[in-house]
Amino acid sequence: MSSYPKVLVVGCGPAGLAAALTLAQNGVAVRIIEKDASPRVGQRGAGITPRSLELFEALGVLEEIQQKGRLVMPVRSYRSPGDMSDFKEFTMMPKEDPMPKYPYRNFILLGQDGLDKVMRAKLSEYGCSVDYGTELVSLEQKDDQVKVVLQVRNGICPEAETSRVEEVYEYVIGTDGAKGVVRKQLGLQFLGDNLEIGMAIGDLKIEGLSEEYWHMWGKMEDSLFVGIRATENPGVFNFMLGGSNFKSGKELCQDHDLLRAFLKKHSLGDRENIKIVEVICASSYTPTVRMVDVFGKNNVFVAGDAAHVHSPAGAQGMNTGLQDGFNIAWKMAMVCKGWAPKTLLETYNEERFPVVAQMLNITSKLMKAMATSSGDESGWKRTGNGVNQLGVNYRWSSIVVNERSKPSFEENKEPSKPDSYSENNFLRAGDRAPDAPGLRSLFADRNVAMTRLFTLFSPARHTLLVFSSSPGNIRRVLDIIRQYPSEAIKAVVIAPSDAEVEMSSRSYACDVYVDFDGHAYDAYTQTEYKAVAVVVRPDGFIGAIVETVERLAEYFSGMFVVKNV
């Protein structure tokens, strides 16, 4: 037996940290390594979608992210460099109020260095910390194991001595970026093209510039675009330079005095009241749109930028990587614990491939609109369930069970065809599980505060929602799951507010909540109190919507291999 953890995660960006944290919360031993000697500095992908906020709530880090982050500020698009009085002002993302099934509807801006720090702190609560200065050199799969060769730096200095070690793991998740080793070791194709735009990004300390706006000059298509955005840190701004004729990014990022002069000339002007105090970090790159041909082989998988890279428009890449990490990790946890067959891991590629393919199309269209925008809101609007990712779904997945499908849905199960990014008014298996406030425990004191569905879900188990007040219906549903490990499935009865609840005892051995405000029934049943069972997966997507115990048994028998004796 190997003395190493079951899973090795290579790369400690958001995708890797999400995977490691999900595994740790499932009680699966995991190691996460990073070739850099210390955490990277910089905002990079700062936009966090509403769907990612929901995932962060499940992982237990939402509150701190909300406290540290800020909402997207209005844009001021200036007509010419140096003249801060002549501008158009518009809102990129109008603020939206919460709804019962959508508790978070607004993007939050939090630099990736700050986000990573929050996630690392949470991961440390499970006894897992990032091993910096540890680089994957090679990997080999044999006998259902993965042998890796690691190069370990003995100290934080770049000149520190290194040593090579061999270790063995059951699984490896590569989140080591677009230039990472894992994808190359697997021999995966990375299909796509470079965009004909040069870019540079970084962080600055600026005095005298308003932090209430996102400042912009020019456009990418026929000149130079400059964007300077306030961050969550007072006095710190993130900058973006880009354009079809912008060729000096590398030179500017290496010479900070030259970068200061360039920014003055093309944006801020030579103003005494605005001063660039410090260039914190800067890097240049050519945006590319690429994705792998498959998200893994055997016991090794890729996620995040190791699996797909995209244009910088729309804040989809980092958020998509988070969902990659969550998807593979909950499935891997099920397999590692002996609950699910190893074939479950094959559905990672099945589910994520079409989502990522559609994401790349969306961001490419947004990038084109942004590049041709003439300094107004036409190319910068970011609204709807496309960019907020609340419509991301797996309706075509082979592991979801739907007893409500319309014929048109059933005819379209080919992975390359489904709309992976849009909601449908008709809730079905594979969709994101809606939230619902206004629930009160049947057995709790009336003074106890109400709760909401999201507080009942967990990345460490399935949640079975039973929409009924009939003791007979409830018992038949609960009988199905008694044969599976109790820690793997949490059953919750949701009783309608105006029905006779014939449940005077606690003999059901599960929680019972009354839907006083009717939000849960409105979101899930879409029928008049008809008995419905809904299975919510550990990643917050609906695994099954059924009206018969036979279809419920079909879902669990396909998901689990272990049964109680």
d(CA 182, CA 174): 5
- pLDDT of 391 > 50? The answer is yes
Most confident of 72-86, 290-304, 377-391, 521-535: 290-304
Residue-level pLDDT at 509: 75
Q: For residue 149, what are the contacts with CB-CB under 8 A and spacing of at least 6?
A: 136, 137, 138, 139, 164, 165, 166
Residue ranges of domains in the chain: 7-69+107-191+292-380, 73-102+196-286, 401-559
Residues in a beta bridge with 565: none
Average pLDDT (486-513) is 78
Fold agreement between 73-102+196-286 and 401-559: no
Q: How confident is the model at residue 245 (pLDDT cuts 50, 70, 90)?
A: confident
Crossing angle between the packed helical segments 50-59 and 317-336, to the nearest 10 degrees: 30
pLDDT (tens digit per residue) in 435-458 = 999 999 987 777 777 999 999 999
pLDDT-above-90 percentage for the chain: 73
- Say if domain 401-559 classifies as CATH 3.40.30.10: yes
Write out the CATH class of domain 7-69+107-191+292-380: alpha beta
User: Is 134's pLDDT higher than 90?
Assistant: yes
Summarised one tens digit per residue, pLDDT across range 327-367 is 999 999 999 999 999 999 999 999 999 999 988 887 777 77
d(CA 402, CA 390): 20
Per-residue pLDDT tens digits for 53-87: 999 999 999 999 999 999 999 999 999 999 999 99
Average pLDDT, the chain: 90
pLDDT band at 418 (very low <50, low <70, confident <90, very high): low
More confident: 110 or 156: 110
Distance from C-alpha of 70 to C-alpha of 74, rounded to nearest angstrom? 12
pLDDT at 378 over 80: no
Q: Residue range 145-172: average pLDDT?
A: 90
Of the listed ranges 129-143, 200-214, 525-539, the one predicted with least confidence: 525-539
The pLDDT, as a whole number, for residue 376 is 58
CATH code matching the domain that covers 73-102+196-286, chosen among 3.30.230.10, 3.30.9.10, 3.40.50.720, 3.30.300.180 = 3.30.9.10
- Mean pLDDT value of segment 449-473: 94
Q: Mean pLDDT across the stretch 92-108?
A: 94
194-227 pLDDT, tens digit per residue, is 888 899 999 999 999 999 999 999 987 767 999 9
How many CB atoms are located within 10 Å of the residue 507 CB? Answer: 9
Q: Work out the pLDDT band at 1, boundaries 50, 70, 90.
A: very low
**What pLDDT score does 523 carry?**
94
Higher pLDDT pick, 474 / 63: 63
Weakest-pLDDT range from 155-169, 326-340, 390-404: 155-169
pLDDT interval class at 410 (50, 70, 90): very low
E strands, 208-361, in order:
214-217, 225-230, 236-243, 275-285, 288-292, 296-297, 300-302, 308-309
8 A C-beta contact, residue 206 and residue 276: yes
Coil, strand or helix at 233: coil
Torsions phi, psi for 485 (to 5 deg): -55, 130
